[in-house]
Structures are given as structure tokens and as C-alpha cells.
Structure 1
Amino acid sequence: MPQNGEVVDTEHAIEIAERVWWVGNYLEDDLFQCHTYLIEHGDQSVLIDPGSALTFPVTLRKVEEVTSFDHIRYFICHHQDPDITASLPRIDAMISRDDAVIVSHWRAVALLRHYGLKTPFWQIEEHDWQLDLGGRWLTFVLTPYLHFPGAFCTYDTRSRTLFSSDIFGGFTETWTLFARDERYFESIRAFHEHYMPGREILQHAMEKFDAMEIDTIAPQHGSMIPKPLVKFMINRLKGLECGLFMNSDQGESALRLHELNRLLAESADTIASSRNFREVAEGFLSAISHSLPVSRLEFRIRENGQQQIYFAASNEFRGVPMAINAADRALFREAERLPPGSHGCKKVVHGGSGEAMVIVPLKLRQGEGRVAVSLLSVGVDANISSALLAAIDRMSGPVSAALERELLFMELERERNAIYERSIRDALTGCYVRSYMQSTAERLLHTHNRIAEATVGVIFMDLDHFKQVNDTYGHLVGDEVLRHCGQAIRDTLRPMDVPVRYGGEEFVILTSPIEAAHLRLLTERLRAQIHRQRIPLEGGGVLQVTVSAGMAMHQQGERLEDFLARADRALYQAKARGRDQACMAETPTPYL
């Protein structure tokens, strides 16, 4: 097993403790290294934080160096973020055993269910926070709000390894598998000040860890912590001030920073991670109520001159359409007069009512003409300091995002997923439409420009002599040919590949990650699959079609239009050579 400072070969699985393996994927020039771990225990093996669609192919190769994938029964996901869970659909498709489960906390499971997996979930809180692998026990340690409400860590009692998820993570410019000395704490400090909500929450977790016998800390990010550094890192994190990264402006006093940190730490996790707006609203109210006696919290969104959407405890913050009356118009006019940015909220006294309201303007990016406000009902004599108003105003940003997210969910609930699918899918072929391809291609190329391993390939395909098919058999038969070809393409591709009907009888396939040799093989499989299609003709007989294809591999720094143009030229080269074949585009000179 590697010792502190020892050089290791990260191209292969590395045993870091007794039958505990690092099977992660080192990404060069990435400050945010993400790690996956394997506990090899016969047919009860465990894969911890499986990884993303980008990293899982390498992880799978390393797992197979140690044991068969089929020996893995438990897939532990410490949270729901895509850097550790985006590989679950692929894993779900690979699992062949009936007793395999995905292990997580119910809060993460509530979101992971949306992957639509067939593999069942095993919730740690329903199993007394422990798992018997058959002579080897894992225990689960709840670490709420680090970095989401259901966060937890996994402890292997045999090797005394703590799989700590985001806790003890670090930003690493020069990455090593194990932290070498106490100076590594500065990497941990930067990560925790940025990601963790507050000192008290972090200290609560550190007290738990301090009482445990830990030989190795294996975090999801950064470097592992060997036994000589464990106590040092725990003690340093106990007193670390977190949650201040976004709250300190030049000239702010320490007292104000602490007040802001306390308010934001109490509510930021709920606001940022909850999909339930009611939880967001109640967390917002709870945080403010520590410093201000609030009797009522409301959210109002003016959609137009006559209609508003109203959120309050009386409707469980679900949002109800309401008419706008004269008093509402006055509130919206007041909100529109408030300045944007810091100190935008204002206390307004209602004459003779014995009540005052703090009007907090909320900033929505979508919806022209929308005006959104949060209203906090307080006593007329309530003393509201400028620092507290500033804290409330700063909290309005995350609240605005949560409110806008809730509006989007409401709209999607009305529209339903089928409408969205129809908007991005070609009805005839089932492939994506051309407009969808643009944003997807730009995202893939942006990733490849940053990460060399995230290679991108493209295939341009054109049905040979398709005009002759339409002229001879009619457009109905032509449509049937396109339908068969679209189905054949979708059946051949991986879930992460993007098939697009580019126009007429032309298709484009974006695929990543992929190497040039595999791109050639994929193209040949597609060509053969389309050639095998048999389209029945009216009156008997069948029709066969062939396809010509052009391929290209993206070069880092290459523009999208140049990338696609190379594949298009390769397609015409295939046609010029007699059709029913594929050509690979040459690498342009500037990228050789």
C-alpha cells in the first residue's frame, strides 16, 4: 500500500487499505479531483461514489483490475450531485444480479429516483445506520448540511477508513493521492470556506470524527489524509469559519460578518438544495426570526396588471393565482422604486394598522414585466438595524433563485414532460431536432477544450439516393424509411450519445468520450444496421437503403462550425467514392 509521499501509478487501481482500493480517475489540470473507492469483499463488494459519465469508464476498468463488476452488490452515493451519480444509469443497465442496491440517505434518494432506475434503493436510516457485508461492517455517520441536509459519511470498521464525501475535500493545483504534510490544510481551508455553510455545523461533524478511530480519511475531492495527519486536520477544521466567502465586502466589520454568517448558515443549505419551496420559505423565515419578530411571510409575483401569484403559509407556499387589488398595487409600486443591489429592502409602516412590512424586492431573470417581492410582517416598533437589512437583502438572491425555480416547476407541471420532449424531438425519427444540437455540441466542445480526455466525435450521415426513393415510391414510403433509420440509429447508440435529424435525409451523431478508432467502429455499426433495415412496400416486397457517412474528431480549440464542416466534407468524399461507405476527416494543419 502506498505510504505518505510515495509515487504511485494512478493509471491503475491502488490499494489504500486492507482490500480498499482507489479506483478514481485523475484529470490533469483539474483543481476539483473526484474520487471513487472500492471495498473488495467477494460478491458483497462495495463501490463508493461511482462517479460521472465522464469518469466512470476509467473507474470501471480499474474495478475490473481488482474484481468482477458483478461482484459489486452495494453502490453507495453520499449525495445526489452528478459528479458521483451521473454514472448510475449506465450502472443500472449493467447490473445483472437481483440483490444489488443503491445505498443513500432518503433526502438524496428523493432526487436520485428521477434517474428512473430499476435498481432498488437501500436507505441507511432504515437499517440502523450500518451495513453487514458478511464479517465486515460499515457504519454510516450523519453529517447534516455538509454540504446538503442528508449528507453522511461511511466508516469501514475493519480498515478504519472514513469515506468522508465532501468533508476534508480540497482544491489541489498539484495533486497527490495522499496529503504529504500539514501544509495541505490550506487546500482544505479554501474548499471548506467556499462550500460549507458554517463553523458550528462543521464543528459538530468534527466532534463525531474526533471520537472515532480513523487510520485513513478518503474524501471525494482532493487528497487522502493518512493517519499521522488525521487528528491535525480534524482539530484545524473545528475552528474554521465557513460561509463567509460570499458575505464579506470591503470595510465590513467582524460583527456584521458573524451576523451574516449566522443567518446565511442557518438557511443557505435549505434554500440551495431543497426542491420544495415550502422548505425554502420556512428556512428563510426561521433564520430571520432569530433577529426579527416576524408574524407573517408572503411572496407575491405580479404577472400582469390584473394577476399575481401569491405564496404564504396559508396555502403552504404552493403559489395561488390571485387578483391584484389597490393595496397590492401600492406594494408593487413601492418595490419598483427600491434600488437594485445591496440595501434594496425597506421597512414600510401601514398607517393606523399597527403593522409594518419589510419589503424585499426579488430579482427574477425570466418573465418580462414580472415584479416579485417578499413581505415580512413585523411590529411598527420593531428595531431593524442596517446590518440586518443588509443580511436579509443578501439572502434575497438565493431566495429569488428558489422562487424562480418553483415557478419553473409549476410551469413544467402544467406543460408535462411530453410537451418538452416533443419540442426537442423530431416526431418522425425520434432523434433530436437541429436546434437542440447547437447547445449540446457547444457544451461538449467546451468540456473538451478544458479536459483533453473528454474527446468528442461527430458523424454526418446521409441516406443514399433518397430523392429517388421519394420519386419512385412516394413520400409516405420515404417517411417510413426515415422512421426505420431513426429507430436503427437510436437502437445502436449509447444513452449519452446525441442523435440529431439534421435536415431531410441527413443525420448527425455527437458522441463523447470516444477515440477515433471507436468512432470508426461505431460508424460502421450504424451503416450496417441501416443497411439491414427492411421497409415493406405496398403490394409486397421490401426496400433496402444504404448510407454514406463522414466522421471527424474535435481538436481542442477548434470552433464548432469548423468541426462540423470537416465532417460534412468527409461525407461528400464518401459520396464521391461511390456511396455506401464512410470517410474520416483529416486533422487540420493548425492542430497537427
Structure 2
Amino acid sequence: RERLALSRSVIREVFRRREALLSTDMGADARFDPTRTAARGEIKSVMCAPLVRDGRVIGVIQLDTRARSRAFTRGDLDLLNAVALQCAIAIGNARAYKRRQEYSRNLVYLARAMQRLSSSLDRERICRDTVKASCSLLGCTKGSLLLRSEPGGPLQLVYAVGMSREVVRRVRGRPAGERFAQRVVDTGEPLLVTRLSELGSGECPPPDPEQAGRYATESFVIVPIFASGDPAAGRGRTIGALCVTDKISRGVFHGNDQELLQILASQAGAALTNAELYEKATVDTLTRVYVRRHFMQQLEEAVANARYGGGGAPLSLILIDIDHFKSVNDVHGHLAGDAVLRTVGRLLKREVRTGMICGRYGGEEFCLLGPGLDAEAAASVAERLRGVIAAHEFRVPGGLGLRRTASFGVAQHLPGESASALIARADRALYEAKREGRNRVVIASERPPSGRHRSPASEPESPR
């Protein structure tokens, strides 16, 4: 233990002076702690040389001898310095090679992650994959993605890794990022912090009590996300920020980490922009379900698959019409009608089975496509939705609560049947539900109706 303590004092001296050290007689050397007499009695002579790479001490070589008749000389120290120089070069080259290998692996992983992002048009999936890829890429245990709720609006947490469910539930949907993330979004410049304690008081916001003990390290990286995905070109607005912290190694982040993270964030920005454009083209802005054109494309593909390669799996279509909807607009105004339509769209998206496709067929009519559902299963879904809508109180402007019901027509795809024929049978079933008193579910017969089926606006209001 005494010898170890002495070695530490010698090494500290070499690190401090950044030059080699030679003691020919430890017992008489005043540079060291006089209390280490026991160790001095054992060690006759010591020499120590720093390993210097790029002007920085990366290690130390120490030799000592107990031979009373043999003490190290200046020539021995010169030889040790030469050995230390070669060791420093070898260690530096090995570390550089390791970094290059790691960087190459990261680039391969980054390319795959970017490919996954570019192939998706699902906003939630893009956000999830971006955060998970960031943590895997940089070896982190915590990461998060924050986006503006609207252009110029506050940041909101969209997805996070490494946070407890309670924290995510408390933060999600609320304005967030008043600290460093907000600064990155406002300036459009990335932020790399090796140690939070090294920031000046003007740079470091006051501690957040809610974040106390949440992070294991003080190092983190935050990069901006641009709508264009090309921050270098200065195009596009800043829509959010990507944050990572707490390396598994407990180490600090470096410039390469920031560079890789910014590349990934740029691809995420491009993917989110594409997803936004896709959503505008396919999703109804009022009800947040698919527009009729996109729904019909999905229906045509599903029917073609059922006709030519579906393997016998059933396919059903449900048409939905809000009962007496015209009276809502006439009595309470079109804003009230919009509120009812918006709520019905939300209820349908919340209640339908996974894999079902929901769209707005026209006006107050909605449509559901059920791959894998036969007529009875689809009717069961429709009956549940009918009950949900009938039991719901629709809040409209002015605080008024309205009650509304809906009618449902269900049709299962028949062998060889076209999409238009399937719609015609479901439409006829919906008409029958209206004629029989509304607020009910009717399953279409397997016999196609004669003549052309009506459009959503072609029938008179009375059966509606």
C-alpha cells in the first residue's frame, strides 16, 4: 500500500509537469512525501516518463529498482523517453483505428436507420424509430424527440426512451423544453455539453426539481430538426429537437457524436416533412380520418387482393350515416355540425379494431374497411360503434350538449365482386337501416341490388 501511494505521487508529478522524472536516490529526494520512509527504504531509484500524444499526456511508464548498487541514470531516462514516445504513437494509432472502426460501424448503422426513416410515412413510427436509432447509434440510455405543436408554437414531448411511464405521462402533451431544447430550436444551432457543471451561470438555467436524479451524467447533445432535412443549406423551418444523454459507458459526448446525431435528425426532418405532406393529401382535416379518394384506393387494393390472392380471407365494408345531421346545421349552425363530425371521427378511430381502415365517404357519411372480418364480425363492430355514438354527448360551441345516433350498412365481399358492387350492397343496407327507423345495423343480402347505387347526396333527406 505504501509503495502504491508512492507510485501515485510520482505519476501525479509527471502528469503535472508533463515531463519525465528521475530520482537516483529516493531516500534523499525531497520532492516526495517524507512520511513514505518505509517505501523509500525499499525503493532505491525510480524513473517515470509521460506518454504524450497530440500535446496531451495519455499515460505514464514508471520503473523502479531496489538494487542498492544500481541506480537509474540520465541515459536510462533517455532510453525510457524513447520507449514512451513509441508507446504513445502505438497507443494513439490503436485508438484512432478503433475510433475509425467504430465510426465506420456507426455509419453503416446510420445508413440503415436513415433508410428505415425514408421508407415510412407514419409520423409516430418516424418519431419512435428516430429516438431508438439515436440511442443505439451513440450508446445512450436516454433520448427524446420534441416537436412544435404548430409553427412557432411551444415544444411538446412526442417520444422518449429511458424515462419512466409516469414522467412521460406527466410531460407528454404539455409545453416542454423551456431549457436547452428550446434554445436549440430558437437558434437552430446544436448544443453539445460535456459537463453541465462547466457551463457558466448565464448559460445554465436554474435546476428543475422535477429532473433531480433523473440523469446519470452531465453530458448531453441536442440537435435541431429542420422541416427540409437540410440545415446546412439553411432551408426550412425548425420544427423540433432531438436529445440524447447518459452514455452507457458514462463517458462524455464528442464532436463525432453530434455530427452523427445531426445527420440522423436531418433525415428525420425530411421524413416528417414527407409524412406531413402525405397526411395533408390523405387525411380529412376536420375528422382526421382518410379522405374518400384515399379510402377508395385502399378499398380497390383490398378487393383486388381478395379476388386474386387473398387466400380466402373475408373482407367487409361498413357505411355509416349520422342520423338527422342536417337538423344540426339548420338549428345550431355549421360550427356545431363540424364539432359533431369531428367527434364522430375521433370515436371511430378510437373504437375500431387494429387493421381496420376508417374514412369519410362524404358529408356526414363515414366508411370502415375490415380486412379479415366476415359479415357477422363486421356487424358486431358496427353494433358496438352504434352504441358508443348513441351514448355520447356531443359538445358543440356554446357549451350545448347534443345527442345523435347513426345508422350502419354492412356488406361482406362476395367472390369475384368488384369494389363498386360491394359499395352498392353496403349502401343499400344503409338505406334499409334508415328506412326501418335509423339507429340500427343492417347486413346486406348477398344478391346485388338492381340498378346503380346512389351517391351520398342523391337520396332525399326524409330517409336520412
TM bin (shorter chain): 0.3 to 0.5
Calculate the TM-score normalised by the size of structure 1: 0.32
Larger Rg, first or second structure (1 or 2): 2
Please state which structure has a larger fraction of its residues in helix. Answer: 2
Calculate the TM-score normalised by the size of structure 2: 0.40
